[in-house]
Each structure stands twice: as C-alpha cells, then as structure tokens.
Amino acid sequence: MSRALLVLVVALLVCLSVSLFGENFIASRFAYYYDILITIGVNVILATSLNLVNGYTGQFSLGHAGFMAVGAYASASWSNHLDPYVLGWIGGANNPFATNVAFLISMLIAGSLAAIAGFAVGVPSLRLKGDYLAIATLGFGEIIRVAILNTDFVGASRGLSVAGSYTNLFWTYGSVAVCVYVVLGLVHSTYGRGFLTVRDDEVAAEAMGINTTKYKVMAFVVASFFAGIAGALYAHFKAFLTPEGFNFFRSVDVVVFVILGGMGSTIGVIIAAVMLTILPEALRALAHTQFVPPAYQGLLENRLILYSLLLITLMLTRPQGLFGDPVALRKRFTRSRGN
Amino acid sequence: MDRLIEIVQQLVNGVSLGSIYALIALGYTMVYGVLRFINFAHGDIYMLGAYSGYLLAPFFSHFFKFGQFDTFTPQNTLFILSGAGLVMVFSMAICAVIGVLIERIAYRPLRQRPRLNVLITAIGVSLFLQNITQYRLGADPKAFPQLIPVHVVEGLGNLTILTSQLAIILATILLLIVLRLIVMRTKMGLAMRALSLNPTACSIMGVNNDVVISFTFALGSALAAAAGILVSMDSPSINPLMGNLPGIKAFVAAVLGGIGNIPGAALGGLIIGILETLVVAIGFPQWRDGIAFAVLIVILLFKPTGILGKVEREKV
C-alpha cells in the first residue's frame, strides 16, 4: 500500500470515528457550527475539483455550479423515487447500514451523471481557449439551470424536496479525502504531466504530440464528477433544492476559492475554501457587535462585495493567489499573449 | 393576413429587444477590438445607466413634467423627447466617466499581463458594481420614472407598437449613425481602427494608445447607458442585477456578429433579439434565456469568428 493510500485510509477512518462518536453531539449542541462544517466540506470538494481544471490544466471554467446542480438534482431524484426499492432490498429505512448504502449509491449516480454532463460539455467547448471557454462554460451552466427550471419532473421553479437527510460528517469529509486523493494522485501521475503541459504551453504540448483535448476533457470530467458528489451532499443536507441555488454566483464563489488559494495549489485552495466559508459568517457576527455602526452592517454582511474586492486586489498585486507557487505560475502570469 | 401581421408584430418586438442587445454588444466589441479582452463588467454599466437615469430624473422632472403627459401630441412631442433625451445624455456622460475610471483603475495596470488575469479582474469589477449598488440603493426593484408616455402608436391597424418600442428603435438608429460617424470620420475613430489592427504600429505612428483606449471605454459605456435608459422606458422596473443576462446575451451577440467588428455587433444584437422573441412567440417563453447560450455554443463550434469576423491566426 502506497503512503498516499495509507493516508487516505487513515483519513477515512478518522472521519468515520468522528462521525460515529461525535456526529449527534455536534449536530445537536452546535447546530450552527455543524451547518458551517458541512458547508466547508462541500466547498472544499468544489474548490479542489475545479482547481484541477482552472489550476492544473490552465483552463478557465465558469460553470462549476451547473455540474453541482446536475449532481444535486440527480441524487435528489434518485433518492425520492428509487430509495424505497433500494432500502426494501437491503434492510429498510430504519437500518443505518441500508440508508448509508442507499446514499452511497445515490452519490455515485450523482457523480456519474455530472461526469457525463461534464463530458458532453467538455468535448465541444474545450476546443475553445481563454475567455471564450469561460463564456461557453458559463453558458452551459446557465443552460443546465434553465433546463432544470423547465423540467416539471424535478419541480421546475417550485423547487424540489429531497427525501432523506443522509449527509453527515463521514460522507462529507470522506468525500473530501477521496477528492483530494484523486486530484493529487492524478496530478502526480503521468496524466498530471499532461495537465501541466497543457497549462504551461498548449502549442508546445501539441507540437510534442500530446493530445491536449484528451487531457483537458479528462480534467473536466473528473472535476464534474466531484462537483456532482458535492451536489449530492448539498442536496441531502439542505433537503430542498431550487434552481437559483446553482446560479452564476455559485460558480463565481468556487472560482474565487481557487484564485485566492492559488491556481494549481491544492492545499492553498483548500485553505481558501475553508477561510472564505468561515469569513462571511465571522463578518456577519462582527456586524452585529457594538463595534460596527449600523450603517456599515450591510457592507460586512454582503460577502460578494468582499469577494469582488478580493479578486481585483489579488489580480493587481498577487495574481498567483495566497498560496500559489510563484515559480510555476510566473511564466504564465508575466508573459503577454497576443498584442 | 392575420398571420402576416403576427409575423410583423413579432419582428418589431424582436427588433426593439435586439436594439438593446446591439447597443450593449457594441461596447463589448469595441473594447475587444482595442484590448482583446471581454469586459465582463459591461452589463453592469448598462445597469448603472438605468440607475443614473433613475437618480437624475427627479432633478429634471420639475421642468419637464415627467409622468404628467398621458399621450404624445404634436404639441408636446418635442418637449417630452428633449426631456428624455437630456436625462439620457447625462446618464451616458456619467457612465462614460465610470467606464473610463474602471479601465484606469482595474484594467490598465494589467495591460501587459495575460488575458485571463484581466478577465478575472473584470468579473471582480462586475460583482463589485452589482453589490455596491445593491448595498447603496437596495436590492429591491425600483420603479423607473416615466420619461415618455407609453401607449400604442395609433394608425397602424392591428399592429400593436408601443411608443417606448418606437423610441428604442429610433434612438438606436440615431446612436448607430453617430457611432458610425465617430468611428469612420474622426481622427479618434481612425486611431481606434488603427489600434485594433496593430497596437504597436499604431503607437509608432504617434497615437497615444492610452487615450484611445479610454475613449473606447467612454464610448462603449455611453452606449450601454443609453440602452439601460431605453430599456427602462419600456419595462420600468430596475434592479442591481438587471445587467447580468442582457450583458451576457449582448456578448453572445458580439460573438455572433464577429467580435471586434462593429456592424457585426449590431447585426448580432438584432438576430439574438429576434430569435428570443420567436422562441417566446412559438410557445417556449421559459427557454428565452437559454436560446442565446445555445446560439453561442453553435457559433463557437462552427464559426468562432462570427458572421462578419475575420480569421485571426495565433502566432507562436
């Protein structure tokens, strides 16, 4: 067993034991913090997976929320319609083993459907570069949202109630561990060399006989898979889905995590996702203390003002992000293309 | 005959919607022409245009009696139009200044950096404009003051054309002519065209590229502001996020017409507007926001240079 795999198994065991022994305690005593903990997990999965596309492969996707939506709705529909059968076969709704197996199946379905959507989107759009790709992925994300909005089967604009709040600390942080393991494993394999080559110089990579489209699509599909998993976790945590929850701003959130953390730095992106999930909550708490005049409360409570200023300042002063590798990214960020 | 009228009716609706997209698309395409990047914040300049109209109108309403006329009559037409025109011109000026400031503060320091950097900054600027407006003026929709009386134009038989639609179409035609004159007949326009062909050669010829770029931003932002005012005459409810979808659709229009190509942007805007109206007319109103993206994806796959665009080779 390799060291990385060992770390993964240990991480999963830790998650499992924390979940078994601490879940109810945290969820009942510290419901608010429990909520934030799960949200952090979901955001970390989204950020880590998007980093594979936007960071390591050097593409710029603005539609991650779309794939999350596919996963969330797929998982919710599966659980709503097919869980009774699944649970019937393996032991009933009161059997914790059966419900968890049912959730695993639902999550895998969600991830697979999101991956298929990622493939369908990636094959045509990844021929595009830079800002065109950004707009095309944004467009696909919006089309997915509009499609959900028009599908009566998943509740259209009314929203969709999700049967079974299966999401717990184990599944959330277990998925985080698997996601980080897969992304790092990919990046440090021969495939990873492919991703980095595509990022560093696509023309040179093509000239070396590297099938750049293949690597781009692969990164995109893996990222979409984990976005789908994150969607499933989100669906079974919130228990209610609306298409508006997966709009453009949701994608922007994830992009901000990746850029702040530093494109192409998994640890940086994870830290950024954790920080930026906690920060709005902390600012909200701060806004209601006596130190802040009422007039400025709104300013602190609006996370997007903060995010937007963060984006602009970062791009002006530190484009590689807080934890990005300046050496690997220096080339990419100092060379002017075109003009 | 009824069918014919129906078709003409939808075309008019489509053209008036398309005019708005065309005006916004021009800003995208001109900025792309000189800087080769997508000014993501352009849709929000359109929103700011509507808001500056909303904030300016009270200053003029005492003199021009906004909202006190029910119909256009031969006596009051000129008076009403000059009032609306004045609000529009002032909003355009305000937005031109905002556009120039945005370029100066956020984009110019990044001029030598890769496009991705500037794109991210532009997303940041867009979010900032939306949310600062939301914070200062509230997230709830505001009722835009009635600059011109909105009623059906008489004497057209079964055709229902609103005065606001007519105003949109006529104002757009006027602005397009003015733009055409600026771009083709003035020195600044010549410099803009030169800059979009080759920035280095352009500066060697003695053109101050920075000034030309600022001017392009001013021009594009003024057109977007005009679009914002015009659209608010037709549907008088404005909110801080109103620029999002029209902004993206107008971008699609610019790509459709061939990004960097000024007549192309106008053409693309009209096509998107008409397509969108048709989608609603044939019974899929919920899909109207999807059609622009579908067009975008089709055009990017089959003819990324757009209808009127030229092929640009990537040099290594």
Residue A308 and residue B131 in contact, taking contact as beta carbons nearer than 8 Å = yes
Does residue A336 register a pLDDT over 50?
no
CA distance B40 to B17: 21
Residue A199 and residue A133 in contact, taking contact as beta carbons nearer than 8 Å = no
pLDDT reported for residue A163: 83
pLDDT reported for residue A332: 52
Mean pLDDT over B39-68 rounds to: 91
pLDDT reported for residue A129: 78
CA distance A265 to A267: 6
Q: Which residues in A lie closer than 8 A to residue B297 (C-beta atoms)? A: 124-125, 136, 139-140
More confident residue, B103 or B153: B103
Buried b vs exposed e over B49-71: b needs ≥16 C-beta within 10 Å? bbbbbbebbeebbeebebeebee
Nearest to B95 by CA among B128, B54, B139, B50: B50
Given the structure tokens 């440090």, which residue do they identify?
A188
Interface predicted TM-score of the whole assembly (ipTM), two decimals: 0.84
| Range 139-198 of B in CB contact (< 8 A) with A | none
Compute the count of residue pairs across chains A and B with CB atoms less than 8 Å apart.
Answer: 127
Q: Could you give the 3-state DSSP secondary structure of residue A288?
A: coil
Alpha-helical runs (H) found in chain B: 2-35, 42-64, 77-102, 115-137, 163-185, 187-197, 199-204, 209-234, 244-257, 262-281, 288-302
| CA distance, residue A137 to nearest chain B CA (Å) | 9
Q: Residues A8-52: pLDDT tens digits?
A: 999 999 999 988 888 888 888 898 999 999 999 999 999 999 999
| Range 220-259 of B in CB contact (< 8 A) with A | 244, 248, 251-252, 255
Classify strands A160-161 and B237-238 as parallel, antiparallel or unpaired: unpaired
Confidence of residue B142 (pLDDT cuts 50, 70, 90): very high
Residue A176 and residue A41 in contact, taking contact as beta carbons nearer than 8 Å = yes
Confidence of residue A326 (pLDDT cuts 50, 70, 90): low
Does residue B38 register a pLDDT over 60?
yes
pLDDT reported for residue A34: 92
CB contact B106 to A (< 8 Å): yes
The chain-wide mean pLDDT, for chain B, equals 90
Residue B131 and residue A302 in contact, taking contact as beta carbons nearer than 8 Å = yes
Angle between helices A130-149 and B244-257 (to 10 degrees): 130
DSSP strands (E only) in chain B:
142-143, 237-238
Which residue of B lies nearest to A312 if distances are taken between CA atoms? B121
- How many Cβ atoms are within 10 Å of B225's Cβ, its own excluded? 33
pLDDT reported for residue A67: 96
Q: Do B115 and A319 touch (CB under 8 A)?
A: no
The chain-wide mean pLDDT, for chain A, equals 87
pLDDT reported for residue A331: 52
* Mutation choice for B interface testing from A125, A135, A137 by most B CBs within 10 A: A135
pLDDT reported for residue B260: 85
Q: Residues A94-107: pLDDT tens digits?
A: 788 888 889 999 99
Range with the lowest mean pLDDT among A316-320, B114-118, B185-189?
B114-118
DSSP A157: G
More confident residue, B117 or B191: B191
| Range 286-315 of B in CB contact (< 8 A) with A | 286-287, 289-290, 292-294, 296-297, 300-301, 304, 314
Smallest Cβ–Cβ distance between B294 and the set A143, A311, A312 belongs to A143
Mean pLDDT over A89-96 rounds to: 78
Classify strands A160-161 and A240-241 as parallel, antiparallel or unpaired: antiparallel
Mean pLDDT over A292-305 rounds to: 79
Residue B102: CA count within 13 A, CB half-sphere: 29
Confidence of residue B51 (pLDDT cuts 50, 70, 90): very high
CA distance A60 to A198: 13
Q: Residues A51-64: pLDDT tens digits?
A: 999 989 988 899 99
Q: Residues B4-31: pLDDT tens digits?
A: 888 999 999 999 999 999 999 999 999 9
CA distance A71 to A250: 14
Q: What is the pTM of this model?
A: 0.87
| Range 226-285 of A in CB contact (< 8 A) with B | 248-249, 252, 255, 259
Q: Which residues in B lie closer than 8 A to residue A307 (C-beta atoms)? A: 124, 127
In sequence order, the β-bridge partners of residue B143 are B237
Span between the terminal Cα atoms of chain A, in Å: 51
pLDDT reported for residue B203: 92
pLDDT reported for residue A75: 95
Does residue B198 register a pLDDT over 60?
yes
Residue A81: CA count within 13 A, CB half-sphere: 9
pLDDT reported for residue B217: 96
pLDDT reported for residue B116: 76
Residue A67 and residue A224 in contact, taking contact as beta carbons nearer than 8 Å = yes
CB contact B59 to A (< 8 Å): no
Q: Residues B90-132: pLDDT tens digits?
A: 999 999 999 999 999 999 998 888 777 888 899 899 999 999 9
| CA distance, residue A335 to nearest chain B CA (Å) | 6
Q: Residues A68-85: pLDDT tens digits?
A: 999 999 999 999 998 888
Confidence of residue A335 (pLDDT cuts 50, 70, 90): very low
